[in-house]
Amino acid sequence: MDLVRHLECFVAVAEESHFGRAAARLGMAQPPLSQRIQRLEKELGVRLFERTSRQVAITEAGTLLLAEARELLARSESFRAAARRIRAGETGLLRAALAPDISGETVAALLADFRRRRAGLELELHELSTAEQLAGFAAHELDVGLIHHPCDVTGLELGPVLRRDLGVLLPRGAAQAELDEVPLASLTGYDLVLFPRAGAPAVYDDLLTACARGGYTPAAVRHGQGASFVRGLVLSSGAVALGPRDTQLAAPADGDLVWRPLAWRHSVAWPRGRGDAAVAAFADAATHALRTAAGARSEEPARPLHLRPASEFWL
């Protein structure tokens, strides 16, 4: 039995004291209304109305239950309203993720913009690699994330694809630091510092392929993610690192490192068919933050990271 609908019928008859008027108020025929009242009385085991050919009078039991019925209907409407707010992305919890290389300034800009767009929504933000985000989507543990391209986007919907400048980080005393644009081939002899491959295997492989096309095969590939650790490797062990302009690596306070440009692709992603206003708000906030705080620019559509031919390839 649909208890809420039956209680609506009970309250309408009690307030109208007439089955015909109550049926018109509810937008239904009178016989089905009478049947619902009878089913409700049978379910509750009490008589709610005294019926005569000319009038309907609420019983003492009905009077005692009427206030409870009204309260239950009010709570039911409050429940529905809360569900509508959650469905509209106005309240609830959004589980989101960002890649580890996103700068603090970009994260701060994203959070401020998101709070402005959806002040009543709780944001649970994680720092996860692209591979970890894809696993989170598959396990239904993540609602939205900012991923690196290329990666397998099967089953995902994407926001605008954004490019950030990616470049080489090298010691200021290196000969290549005097150049405005550094040929990849000139980095021969240097180790290369990259993020661990498990974090974004397609991006990792594509970067190494691009380096090889440009005439640079690293003497060794070292792995690191923390800014201090990577900077230490670059400064002390004959290595260079790849990183975006807005990363903390690219702007060390002591000025011992210099940076020269490449290209890096991102987009916000979420499971297909599960996007809502909350996801859209996060996507808009992330896109705006990357454009304003990280200097990213739009690119359409999402596609694998194919860098320039060897004859044109500069960091």
What pLDDT is recorded for position 305?
32
Could you tell me if 220 and 173 lie in one domain? yes
Flag whether 227 is in a domain: yes
Q: Tell me the torsion sign for CA atoms 53, 56, 61, 65.
A: positive
| Lookup: tokens for 44 | 């509750």
Could you tell me if 129 and 145 lie in one domain? yes
Could you tell me if 280 and 259 lie in one domain? no
Could you tell me if 27 and 172 lie in one domain? no
Could you tell me if 254 and 272 lie in one domain? no
Q: Which domain holds residue 8?
A: 3-86
What pLDDT is recorded for position 303?
38
Choose one of 34, 69, 86: the last residue of a domain: 86
Flag whether 315 is in a domain: no
What pLDDT is recorded for position 85?
65
Could you tell me if 293 and 154 lie in one domain? yes
What pLDDT is recorded for position 201?
83
Query: In angstroms, how far is CA 188 from the centroid of its own chain?
Result: 40
Q: Tell me the torsion sign for CA atoms 77, 82, 86, 88.
A: positive
The CATH number given to whatever domain includes residue 297 is: 3.40.190.10
Could you tell me if 175 and 234 lie in one domain? yes
Could you tell me if 154 and 188 lie in one domain? no
Could you tell me if 94 and 9 lie in one domain? no
pTM exceeds 0.75: no
| Lookup: tokens for 299 | 């690119």
What pLDDT is recorded for position 310?
22
Could you tell me if 56 and 203 lie in one domain? no
The CATH number given to whatever domain includes residue 38 is: 1.10.10.10
Query: In angstroms, how far is CA 250 from the centroid of its own chain?
Result: 27
Based on the structure, what is the number of domains in the chain? 3
Contacts 24+ apart (CB under 8 A), 53-62: 55/17, 55/18, 56/13, 56/17, 56/18, 56/19, 57/17, 58/14, 58/17, 62/10, 62/14
Could you tell me if 176 and 211 lie in one domain? yes
What pLDDT is recorded for position 203?
74
Separation of alpha carbons 244 and 169, rounded Å:
9
pLDDT in tens, the chain (315 residues): 789 999 999 999 999 999 999 999 999 999 999 999 999 999 999 999 998 777 799 999 999 999 999 999 988 887 887 777 667 666 578 899 998 778 788 899 999 999 888 877 888 999 888 888 999 999 999 999 998 877 888 999 998 888 766 678 888 888 888 877 777 788 888 999 988 888 778 778 878 877 887 788 998 999 987 778 888 888 887 888 877 665 555 554 457 787 766 545 778 999 998 778 888 889 999 999 888 877 777 764 433 333 222 222 222
